[in-house]
């Protein structure tokens, strides 16, 4: 049974289109995946930088607090020694 030439031409065109568009779709998927991975890497890098900065700031604040509280502890002990009666000493 003979097949109409229009039918064979349309089937051939569909197959050619499918074979021709596959590499472009593959490259598109590769580029999207690569862009997504690069975006996640940049996001992780920024997040790690922010966390590191927060740790540095916290360490600085704790250091300054230690320095300032050490001064008041020394002043408090000195005042205590001055105000104690000279006959009674704490042990």
Residues 25-83 have pLDDT tens digits of 999 999 999 999 999 999 999 999 999 999 999 999 998 888 777 777 777 777 788 88
Give the count of beta carbons closer than 10 Å to the beta carbon of residue 2. 4
Number of H helices, E strands in the chain: 1, 0
- Dihedral angle at the C-alpha atoms of 36, 42, 44, 49, nearest 10 degrees? -170
Distance CA(72)–CA(78), nearest Å, equals: 10
pLDDT at site 86: 65
pLDDT at 89 over 70: no
pLDDT at site 34: 97
The values of phi and psi at residue 19, to 5°, are -70, -35
């Amino acid at each position: 049974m003979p097949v109409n030439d229009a039918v064979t031409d349309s089937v051939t065109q569909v197959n050619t289109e499918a074979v021709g568009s596959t590499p472009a779709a593959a490259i598109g998927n590769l580029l999207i995946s690569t862009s997504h991975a690069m975006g996640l890497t940049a996001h992780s890098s920024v997040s790690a930088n922010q966390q590191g900065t927060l740790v540095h700031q916290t360490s600085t604040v704790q250091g300054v607090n230690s320095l300032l509280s050490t001064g008041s502890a020394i002043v408090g002990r000195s005042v205590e020694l001055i105000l104690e009666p000279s006959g009674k000493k704490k042990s």
